[in-house]
Each structure stands twice: as C-alpha cells, then as structure tokens.
C-alpha cells in the first residue's frame, strides 16, 4: 500500500491539451477526434484533436481548412508542419506541407 508521501512524490498532474503547432511533424493519416467537453464553469465546447504518444493536441478549424486546400493540389500529402503566431483570438496558423 502506498502512503500519501510516496504517492505525492510520484504524482504527475494531468497535462493540459496541447496544440498541433507544438509538434515537429504531423502525419495527415492520424485519426481526428471530435468531442463536446465541459470547461471549468460547466459550459460545453466543441474540440477537435489528435493523439500523439498518448497526448492530446488540439486541431483548430483554420488548420483543417488549410490542409483541405493543400490536399486539392497535392492529394498524396503525408505530413505537414503547423506554425503558430499571436495569442488568443489573434492567433494565426500556417500549414507547411512536408515531403
């Protein structure tokens, strides 16, 4: 049986959801999840995310729109890099096709 001290020393708090721009490379064949969740205030919100190495990464709608446009010109697209600038409502994303 583990005591509080041992448990606290080994405890790792749950990680907040990351952002797709934190990844070096994104495989376009990754499964995307679309869920309704509740925030701390109990209000519902919609989130799309991928799971990489057990961690969730949010995929903004603007990133999906850019990938859709790129796929029209390059249907065999396998990987992308997503860069992000700005914060909050002023955040902008740029999808860069790789390979």
Q: Which two tokens stand for residue 15?
A: 């990680």
Strand 55-58 versus strand 18-19 pairing type: parallel
**35-76 confidence digits (pLDDT tens):** 999 888 989 999 999 999 999 999 999 999 999 999 999 999
pLDDT tops 80 at residue 1? no
Pairing type for strands 44-52 and 55-58 reads antiparallel
Q: What is the pTM of this model?
A: 0.81
Q: What percent of the chain has pLDDT over 70?
A: 99
pLDDT score at 12: 76
């Amino acid at each position: 049986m583990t005591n509080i001290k041992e448990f606290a020393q080994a405890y790792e708090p749950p990680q907040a959801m990351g952002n797709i721009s934190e990844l070096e490379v994104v495989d376009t064949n990754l499964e995307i999840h679309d869920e309704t969740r509740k925030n701390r205030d109990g209000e519902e919100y919609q989130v799309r995310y991928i799971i990489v190495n057990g961690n969730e990464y949010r995929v903004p709608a603007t990133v999906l729109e850019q990938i859709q446009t790129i796929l029209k010109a390059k249907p065999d697209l396998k990987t992308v890099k997503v860069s992000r600038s700005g914060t909050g409502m002023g955040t902008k994303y740029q999808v860069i096709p790789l390979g």
